[in-house]
Structure 1
Amino acid sequence: MKKHDPIHPNHGVQRDYPAKVKFCPLCGAAMESRMLMLENGERKVCTRCSFVLFPGPKLVAGCFVIDDGRVLLLRRGIEPAVGRWTFPGGYVDFGENSADAAIRETLEEVGMRVALGPLLGVFTDSMTPAITVVVYLARPGKEPPSKSDEASEVRYFARDDIPWHDVAFPTTTDALTAWVASTRKPRQSS
């Protein structure tokens, strides 16, 4: 591979941030763990310029595209969780808002221009707390959903047909659970 050839991001490596940061993003010197005054906790600090790394969560945004009471899911074509089901979504770029990112990611992954609806919820995986997922409800655009490098299969599922045993991430399960609960009619009291 040549230096300037395009590459696919390695999302497994992305999940190593910030725990495995070794070098200062400002000057390139080594980082070391140091006790930070006033916080009473350790942070990574540059050995040369004293830059302190204050990591925040990485924001992911996506859409539950709903058509005729069914939710659109895609079978992941890339790692992590290749071959498992999730909804269209991905990382929010710096300077981008989550709603715009959800629309962009849906277009990139399944080829649909969607009409964004209300927020379904915000979900965090306790095993991967560095990632926070924002999920919006959306109406499908005119284009039918299509496969891509990131989506090896695309299908609508009724709530009773969701492949729970083959879902990609805990946050996907949490979001699907919230959506299913939102579709149930409230009980009438007698």
Structure 2
Amino acid sequence: MKFCSVCGHGVSLSIPPGDNRERFVCGSCGTVHYQNPRNVVGTVPVWDDKVLLCRRAIEPRYGYWTLPAGFMEMGETTAEAASRETLEEAGARVEVQSLFSLLNVPHVHQVHLFYMARLLDLDIEAGEESLEVKLFEEHEIPWDEIAFPTVGQTLRFFFADRAAGSYGLHTGDIFRSLREG
């Protein structure tokens, strides 16, 4: 960040009074510009014994498979954002159910939240950010072509819970070195 979004003057990194971290602070108007993690929200859309995945039409990870998810917008709840992203990426209408996984991804400043969701019908189609959408049984999941570690972990949680006959909330941290991309 170079300029204050309030007054347009230059900002510099400093530790504001009463804080313990460097922040971008405007030397003119005194505004402290906080930068916080972004929420990525999505669903685990289920139809019978199948899960809906989207093949990405955008970077990062073009051509790889993912659960429908994306960045939460201002004015949305996490559940509303998950439903919207599922509709945008997979053309899928869902009944959003309970929060299923919450995974911290500190190296990219994100928190990923996935909700269990029941597909309302099979009227699905790839949105602008997807090359294709497809329902997969567990043995059909293209594990080597999963776009993101959080998606792979969420799918592993889902299939383990399904096998156990009980679904719970899963939390954790995903760490990758910056060299891994």
TM-score, normalised by the number of residues in structure 1:
0.80
**Pairwise CA distance, 1:115:** 1.1
The corresponding residue for 1:138 is: 117
**Pairwise CA distance, 1:143:** 4.2
Gapped regions of structure 2 (runs ≥ 5):
166-181
Q: What's the CA shift string for 1:170-189, capped at 9, x where partnerless?
A: 22122112212211227xxx
Letter in 2 for 1:82: Y
Q: For 1:142, what is the secondary structure of its paired residue?
A: coil
Q: Report whether the alignment pairs 1:62 with 2:42.
A: yes
Letter in 1 for 2:29: C
Q: Report whether the alignment pairs 1:47 with 2:27.
A: yes
Q: Counterparts of 1:23-172 in structure 2 under 5 Å?
A: 23-128=3-108, 130-172=109-151
Structure 1 stretches of 4+ with a deviation exceeding 6 A read none
Q: Is the 8 A contact 1:111 1:143 kept in 2?
A: no
Alignment size in residue pairs: 165
Q: 1:63 & 1:173 partners in 2: Cα distance?
A: 13
Letter in 2 for 1:75: R
Q: 2:153 & 2:45 partners in 1: Cα distance?
A: 16
The corresponding residue for 1:175 is: 154
The corresponding residue for 1:6 is: none
Letter in 2 for 1:47: G
Q: For 2:15, what is the secondary structure of its paired residue?
A: strand
Gapped regions of structure 1 (runs ≥ 5):
1-20
Q: 2:25 & 2:89 partners in 1: Cα distance?
A: 38
Q: What's the CA shift string for 1:142-161, capped at 9, x where partnerless?
A: 24221121110111122232
Q: 1:136 & 1:83 partners in 2: Cα distance?
A: 23
Letter in 2 for 1:83: G
**Residue identity (%):** 36
**Pairwise CA distance, 1:39:** 2.7
Q: For 1:184, what is the secondary structure of its paired residue?
A: helix
Q: 1:143 & 1:184 partners in 2: Cα distance?
A: 24
Q: Is the 8 A contact 1:125 1:170 kept in 2?
A: no
Letter in 2 for 1:181: A
TM-score, normalised by the number of residues in structure 2:
0.84
Q: 1:169 & 1:22 partners in 2: Cα distance?
A: 31
Letter in 1 for 2:151: T
Q: 2:93 & 2:82 partners in 1: Cα distance?
A: 11
